[in-house]
Structure 1
């Protein structure tokens, strides 16, 4: 896809652009960014990533092969009204907006190829966990091009649109849960006598090593956990404390709450 136009310049747009430029997936000359009012953010994107033209002028939409909807969900209707009269009939639309269904996008931008994706901000380091759903207008070659763009910023799984609510809760919001976990564990370690620096480095390496074990191993997580948990040992004591305090239930409720909010947002934008 030659000309890519971002409508919106939020954190997800920045993460995707950063990932693409880092991996040389697309040329900066082919990437355009529209934003409603934040000129400082537009200037920063141009200076940081070398995007050839960062613009507010909506006329650029006339050249678009791929339009990426990356504004705040509350701004989607106004954003679509701005670009709809200018959008070429053959342009593909990729939405990275949480909760906004493809039906809403079709109503605003017409029947055309549409993909709806939920990446996460780990796209900044080329490690997003993304999922994508398609409408029935999209062709195989268009799917391949979008998958190529998404694979440049991490892994991508094809799902049904209905499943994106769970994906949003799991991997879309997932980095925040991990950071919150690290915050809590780091605070506890500091109370136990470790310095912030030592606690952070040990935690980050523990997470990275555990993630790599999960990635490389064919064993389920329960087996890997059991190999670390000696009967009567320190790990078992910690696991028992987690179980007694409802750790599994807490995570399940976390996922359910985020999924429910995604569904609520979907109804708001229908």
Structure 2
């Protein structure tokens, strides 16, 4: 287990985890729990509504419990100390209302449902239960995620430490006020897509300059990987590292001047703001549909 996880992991091995929903994010968290030694396979269960093939796949790959029988699903939900809500937002209303019958006030709910507030989850469950809302991103599937977290008033300090340790198994965490979760969504939730977008353009540029697709792809990937690693390992600001590359009158300066002329930096800022705004719009729509 990594040293970062040790502080919050006391007692975690004794907990029972149940994942309601068996998508890629649920799998990423399961992989992190097992990979960091935070839980044993027999103490992890995964349930979904009807996709038996997916349950079989997770059972075979990770050794977790993944029953198809409704009675077994109900039992595992009741026995779990921590229930991860990993269903799709469109299914949340029906799923949470149905889940309420199996929830006790001693359990902890960890939501990975985009846009749904802890207050609305509480209303649908209709019990004073501890709820932690999270916003991971897709890089969590390879252990390099960034996850924003917020808590409702019923979450204890011990529960906070436990869940932060769990999500550090798949990347880094940032605890924020719930009103800032849309900002987390716009910045890091959608963040990988912005980088992929830039990478697409760089690969295309390399090919226009005569490089093969393979060479252009490899050079772009390594450039992005190296740049991110430089920021992390040196601790220097991106702006300072960029200035170190820019020789007066050189190639990098010529490129940056064109990007500035086209207001690329401001456009990227506006893109992140728009993503956060859209997260709020979608969340509001989801809230209206679930409480109507």
Give the structure-1-normalised TM-score. Answer: 0.95
**Kept after mapping to 1: 8 A contact 2:55/2:66:** no
Cross-structure match for 2:226 = 209
**Among candidates 97, 107, 115, match of residue 113 of structure 2:** 97
Looking at structure 2, the residues matched to 260 and 227 of structure 1 have their Cα atoms a distance apart, in angstroms, of 35
Question: Which residue of the partner structure matches residue 40 of structure 2?
Answer: 27
Distance (whole Å) between structure 2 residues aligned to residue 256 and residue 56 of structure 1: 45
- 1:248 aligned residue (234, 259, 265): 265
The equivalent position to 2:102 in structure 1, one of 86, 103, 107, is: 86
Bigger CA drift: 43-52 or 231-240? 43-52
- Cα separation, 2, equivalents of 1:117 and 1:56: 29
Q: Distance in 2 between matches of 1:56 and 1:13?
A: 20
**Is 1:233 matched up with 2:246?**
no
**Does the aligned pair in 1 maintain the 2:135–2:149 contact within 8 Å?**
yes
Unaligned regions of 5+ residues in structure 1, if any?
none
Q: Deviations over 1:232-261 (max 9, x none)?
A: 100011111111122112212211221111
8 Å CA contact 2:46–2:65 kept in 1: the answer is no
Aligned to 1:77: 93
* 5+ residue gaps, structure 2: 1-11, 288-292
- Tell me the secondary structure at the aligned position of residue 33 of structure 1: strand
How far apart are the structure 2 equivalents of 1:30 and 1:193? Answer: 54
CA-to-partner distance for each residue in 1:91-147, whole Å, 9 max, x for gaps? Answer: 100111111111111101222111111111212221111111011111111111111
Q: Who is 1:41 aligned against?
A: 54
TM-score (norm 2): 0.88
Q: Secondary structure at the match of 2:150?
A: strand
Distance 1:190 1:7 in 2: 45
RMSD of aligned Cα (Å): 1.5
Deviations 1:194-225 (A, max 9, x none): 11221122111111111111112233221111
Distance in 1, Cα, partners of 2:69 & 2:237: 49
Which residue, out of 262, 280, 291, partners 1:263? 280
Candidates 166, 170, 175, aligned match of 1:149? 166
Q: Could you tell me which of 32, 42, 52 is aligned with 2:65?
A: 52
Cα deviation for residue 22 of structure 1 reads 2.5
Partners in 2 of 1:83 and 1:38 — Cα distance? 18
Could you tell me how far 1:49 is from its partner in structure 2? Answer: 2.1
